[in-house]
Amino acid sequence: MYYNWKEKINTEELKNVANLIKNGEVIVFPTETVYGIGANALDSNAVKKIFLAKGRPSDNPLIVHVANKEDIGRVVYTPSAVEQKLIDTFMPGPITIILKKKPIIPNSVSAGLDTVGIRMPSNEIAHKIIAASEVPIAAPSANISGRPSGTRVQDIIGELESKVSAIIDGGECEYGLESTVVKVIDDTPVILRPRKNFTRRY
């Protein structure tokens, strides 16, 4: 199903999309960085569908998207003071912070690591979908593994349409670059993945 929310979010359709997530389906949705291919991060069967759709190796961990700061404590242990400062300074926005995961996050999401990348999108559509789904959404970039990350639905639809239950069109992504991935090591923030500028494609 294709949903056009470029001009405005349709609240009836939002309920449908949230129900798809609750039912373990996979969707493509916009964020301020790139489009994501997402599913319920607490449901390992749903998460497996993401890896299958993308042809993504199972040792490449997924980023978990939350709607609000209060939702972070559901999926990770209490952040340190430095981690909390990063959260308060940069979230919501185009940053992913690696934190120690709680067992509620399946190992398939974290690729067996005891940490998980947490992101809180500032994009309104992404925010509303995660909030309405009432679960965190595991989502890598919406592209077949090895191809550039999609920043417009027309770049994604051919690759993924047959593999997902819904595609939400929010127009072109604000940044068009993947999130900065940061991990705090010995109280120092270390950038594991800088924002790249070669991912936008026209």
Please report whether residue 141 would count as binding Mg ion according to CB under 5 A.
yes
Q: Is the Cβ of residue 43 or residue 178 nearer to ligand AMP in the bound state?
A: 178
Burial class (CB in 10 A: 0-12, 13-18, 19+), 186: exposed
Q: H-helix or E-strand containing 183? A: strand 180-185
| Contact between 96 and Mg ion per CB under 5 A | no
Which of 4, 55, 61, 10 is closest to 28 using CA atoms? 4
Tokens matching residue 56? 């993504």
Report the partner that residue 58 touches, choosing among Mg ion, ligand AMP, none (CB closer than 5 to 8 A by kind): none
Query: Of the two residues 14 and 28, which places its CB atom closer to ligand AMP in the complex?
Result: 28
Using CA atoms of 144, 147, 150, 152 in order, give the dihedral in degrees to the nearest 10: -100
Comparison of 61 and 170: residue with beta carbon closer to ligand AMP: 61
Distance CA 39, CA 45 (A): 9
The mark string for 113-152 relative to ligand AMP (x by CB under 6 A, - otherwise) is x-xxx----------------------xx-----------
Instruction: Verify binding: residue 47, ligand AMP, rule CB under 6 A.
Output: no
> Looking at 15, 193, 196, 201, which residue binds ligand AMP (CB under 6 A)?
193
Shortest distance (Å) from residue 61 CB to ligand AMP? 4
Q: Give me the least distance between CB of 153 and Mg ion, in Å please.
A: 17
Instruction: Give the Cα separation of 68 and 66 in Å (integer).
Output: 6
Name the minimum Å distance from CB 149 to Mg ion.
5
Residue 200: burial class (beta carbons within 10 Å; 0-12, 13-18, 19+):
middle
Contact partner at residue 117 from Mg ion, ligand AMP, none, CB < 5 to 8 Å by partner kind: ligand AMP
Which residue shows structure tokens 């009836």? Answer: 12
Taking CB within 5 to 8 Å according to partner kind, which of Mg ion, ligand AMP, none is near residue 113?
Answer: ligand AMP
What single string gives the DSSP state of each residue in 130-155?
HHHHTS-EE--BSS-TTSPPPSSHHH
- The verdict on 83 binding ligand AMP (CB under 6 A) reads no
By the criterion CB under 6 A, which residues form the site for ligand AMP?
Answer: 60-63, 98, 110, 113, 115-117, 140-141, 178, 181, 192-193
